[in-house]
Structure 1
Amino acid sequence: MIAVTAFKWVPPFAAGQVRDHRVRWILNEAGWAYEIRLLDAVDQKSAEYRALQPFGQVPTLEEDGRAPMFESGAIVWDIAERAGVLIPSDPVMRAQVLTWYFAALNTLEGALINVSEAEFFLPDEAAKAARRPQVLPFAEKRLSELQLALGDRLWLVGETFTVADLMMSSVLKIAASLDMLKAYPALQVYFDRCLDRPAYRKAVADQCATIAAHGPRDMRYREAQAAG
């Protein structure tokens, strides 16, 4: 059986965004059964979990007979490859899919996370106002470049949805949460197209249902803080 880790609860702005949704999504696309192992803040700090995920993040993936994995990008590609889904067999197209897959993670995601951190994690409006000019223009530049590269194509590579589109649209969820996509109509249409998949809808619905069923107390933040 495959086990994927996820948080019991996160603040409302993060519901549907936590990266375990990517792993749920590809597992749903593959039609593979899995279970979710829920974590709180005490679990995150435990020696057992740090042996599995040195940084205390989610998701991780454990599977009978295989070495455990962490990092959503690594897990998603591994599952897609082993399941034979969303990766073209043609070597040229496969290389293009791999390139766009890493472009999502390396070129787009970091720029968007900088904006997200400014909006959701800085303590007050003055700090946010000071930070926005430092991070927003670069993120907007990356979105403009992506829209230009996409052109009028339906998908990043070829004529069908691939794992590159899965990862790119997952990253674009950050931009959507910041209301940035309205300035990029072609990206908005592409984004909506990518997310219009049963496997995605189930992944996010399941994550959000778990979060809604829990609250901050379930995360045991005070116990984790007291433990050091």
Structure 2
Amino acid sequence: MIRITALKWVPPFAAGQVRDHRLRWVLREVGWPYEVRLLDAPTLKSPDYRHAQPFGQVPVLEEDGRPTLFESGAVVLDVAMRANRLLPEDPGQRSLAICWLVAALNSIEPALMNVAEVAYFTRDEAQQAARRPVVDAFARQRLDALQGALGDRTWMVGDDFSVADLMLSSVLKIADRLDLLEGFDALQRYAQRCWDRPAHREAIAEQCATIDAHAQVDMRYDALKTG
């Protein structure tokens, strides 16, 4: 049986966006059953968990007889490759889909997380006022480049939904929460097509139900932030 790790609780701004939703999503897309192991902040810092995930983050994927995998992009790609799903059949298109999965994590997500850091974790109002326009502008440059690359296509690579679309639309959830998709009509339509997939809706509903069921004290989020 496959097991993935997830947080018991996160602040409201992070609900539906914690990266374990990517594993829930891909596993539901390929039809593989899984269990969820819920963690709190002390467990993330424990030596046993750090042995599996050196950075003390979620998610990991545990499976009997296989190494424990971490980093959501790597796990999504591993599942897709083993299931022979969510990747184009053409070798060149398959490689391009993998490029876009990596681009989502390396070229798009960091720019958006810079905005999130200012919006959610910079408490000094003067610092926030000074930094927000700068990080917003850079994030919008990346979104503009992404929209240009997408053009008028339904999916980023090939004729079908792939790991590229899963990861790009997952990252675009951050932009949507930060109101950065305003003015990017093609990206909004593209992201919504991905988010409307039943596997995504089920994954988000499952994650949010867990978060709603646990009080903040269970997560000890203040302890997590200082780790």
Provide the TM-score with structure 1 as the length reference: 0.95
2:213 match: 213
Q: How far apart in 2 are the matches of 1:135 and 1:8?
A: 30
Specify the code of the residue in structure 1 equivalent to 2:133.
P
Work out whether 1:100 is the aligned partner of 2:111.
no
Aligned alpha-carbon RMSD (Å): 1.4
Q: How far apart in 2 are the matches of 1:183 and 1:121?
A: 26
Q: How does 1:182-201 map to 2 (within 5 A)?
A: 182-201=182-201
Task: Using the TM superposition, give the Cα deviation of residue 125 of structure 1 relative to its aligned residue in structure 2, in angstroms.
Answer: 2.9
1:156 match: 156
Task: Using the TM superposition, give the Cα deviation of residue 17 of structure 1 relative to its aligned residue in structure 2, in angstroms.
Answer: 0.5
2:30 match: 30
Matched position secondary structure for 2:179: coil
Q: How far apart in 2 are the matches of 1:113 and 1:24?
A: 22
1:73 match: 73
Q: How does 1:173-184 map to 2 (within 5 A)?
A: 173-184=173-184
Contact 2:111 2:135 in 1 (8 A): yes
Task: Using the TM superposition, give the Cα deviation of residue 221 of structure 1 relative to its aligned residue in structure 2, in angstroms.
Answer: 5.5
Per-residue CA deviation, residues 10-39 of structure 1 (Å, 9 max, x unaligned), is 000000000000000000001001000000
Per-residue CA deviation, residues 32-71 of structure 1 (Å, 9 max, x unaligned), is 0100000001111111111111111000010011000110
- Do the aligned partners of residues 221 and 10 (structure 1) sit closer, same or farther apart at CA in structure 2, a change above 3 Å counting? closer
Q: How far apart in 1 are the matches of 2:86 and 2:6?
A: 24
Task: Using the TM superposition, give the Cα deviation of residue 208 of structure 1 relative to its aligned residue in structure 2, in angstroms.
Answer: 0.3
Per-residue CA deviation, residues 70-104 of structure 1 (Å, 9 max, x unaligned), is 10010000001101110112101101111111111
2:59 match: 59
Matched position secondary structure for 2:3: strand
Query: Percent identity among equivalent residues?
Result: 63
Specify the code of the residue in structure 1 equivalent to 2:25.
W
Task: Using the TM superposition, give the Cα deviation of residue 183 of structure 1 relative to its aligned residue in structure 2, in angstroms.
Answer: 1.3
| Aligned residue-pair number | 225
1:167 match: 167
Q: How far apart in 2 are the matches of 1:74 and 1:26?
A: 12
Specify the code of the residue in structure 2 equivalent to 1:219.
M
Unaligned runs of 5+ in 2: none
Unaligned runs of 5+ in 1: none
